[in-house]
Chains A and B, each alone.
Chain A
Amino acid sequence: MNGSVARWDRVLIGAQSQGLLFTGLQNAASGLAKMMGRPVSIGAPHAELVPISQITASVGGPDAEMVGIYLLMTDELPGQAIMMMSLSEALRLVDLITGAAPGTSVELGDIERSALAEAGNIAVAFFLNALGALAGTAARPSPPAVMVDMLGAILDVIASRAAAVDDNLLIVETTFNYPEGALQAHFWVLPDLSIES
């Protein structure tokens, strides 16, 4: 869709782009905060072109066991998005979402995965909403996939989808921080800038 490149252009290029992305990421955090009923801040928001071979570096060792909540974005702002955290953080997040006492969730069953999926959904939807308001588009994420696996395996999903186009990934990233809950989740948005997406 030719139109989709132009839409990302509005967000990624120009003097206002940094502000737009920042607003998007902050909105994602506020969505998560609403869901958790607690304040969530963002850390080190930035957009970077990363060679595919190095994408695990900022998150952890490639065989570290992680939870990844993965979504596709389509329509006018196509691309991929993922929220990543350790298994223990994921369990803490589930407790915060469900309002259970800390330590209640001990493994990721269907209900827990569903809660995580919704967190990912909210984060990406709020991100896109902020951009939509500014870039004049409407975009929704796909239903999320919750993956529990080695980090490298999770990121294979992202890398293989993007590698068909380029060997550098444009990653818009931040961390969602909730200090009292010892929660720090990596959040990435990867715009798909190819003409045919």
Chain B
Amino acid sequence: MVSNSLDDVLVAYGLGSCVAVCLYDQSARVGGMLHALLPNAPDGTGVQQNPIKFVQQGVPLLVDAVLKLGATPGRLVVQLFGGAHMLSAPGFRNSLNIGERNVQAAELALKRAGLRVHNQVTGGQIGRTVRLFMADGQVMIKTRGQEEQILVR
């Protein structure tokens, strides 16, 4: 989702292994957030109709959308959140760490888009809710079990 409306707050709730890629242009006051579940779409059809968000496909779409609203690539502040390792229990030692793969996919996709990540709060084994305020690009993070906090960059 993207926005150029100062009143908007973009929210990604309950990020576990999901990642949220946040972009914000301070001068244009334009920004967006991608809430992605998996690193990339499976080979094959139906990606366009598919409401599931994939990092690899979603990042370029997010960048395009934000630029269309008037953002300038060089002024975009890029932040990355989530990608926790949810299944660290003994019975699941062999399970893929989707969270980590999502973070890696996001870093790669952003690099391909010519953007660098300014800030990230990722990994760990805990859920997070992230809000991006369109008024000033501020981010608030709520980590499970804690008070919501303003992210100071």
B-contacting residues of A (Cβ < 8 Å)? Answer: 51-53, 56, 61-63, 65, 70, 72, 142-157, 159-160, 163-165, 167
Contacts and interface: CB of A to CB of B under 8 A. Distances in A.
A151 B89 CA distance: 17
Interface string B118-153: 000000001111000000000000101100000000
B89 to A, nearest CB: 3
B89 A145 contact: yes
Interface string B79-99: 000001011111110000010
A147 B92 CA distance: 12
B114 interface: no
B90 A143 contact: yes
Contacts of B37: 52, 156, 159-160, 163
Interface in B1-36: 13-18
Given A156-B86, A157-B17, A63 B127 contact: yes
Contact of A147 (B13, B86, B128, B142): B86
Nearest to A149: B127
A155 B37 CA distance: 11
Contacts of A148: 144
Interface of B: 13-18, 37-38, 42, 46, 50-52, 84, 86-92, 98, 126-129, 142, 144-145
Contacts of B38: 160, 163-164
10 contacts: A145-B91, A146-B89, A150-B16, A151-B14, A153-B15, A156-B15, A156-B16, A156-B18, A160-B98, A167-B50
A157 B129 contact: no
A153 B91 contact: no
Which 9 A/B pairs are nearest by Cβ-Cβ distance? A152-B14, A153-B16, A153-B127, A143-B91, A145-B89, A150-B127, A156-B16, A62-B13, A62-B14
A150 B14 contact: yes
Nearest to A142: B91
Given A72-B92, A152-B18, A152-B127, 19 more contacts: A51-B51, A63-B144, A143-B89, A143-B90, A145-B87, A145-B88, A149-B86, A149-B126, A150-B15, A152-B14, A153-B17, A156-B14, A156-B18, A156-B86, A157-B16, A157-B86, A160-B17, A160-B18, A164-B42
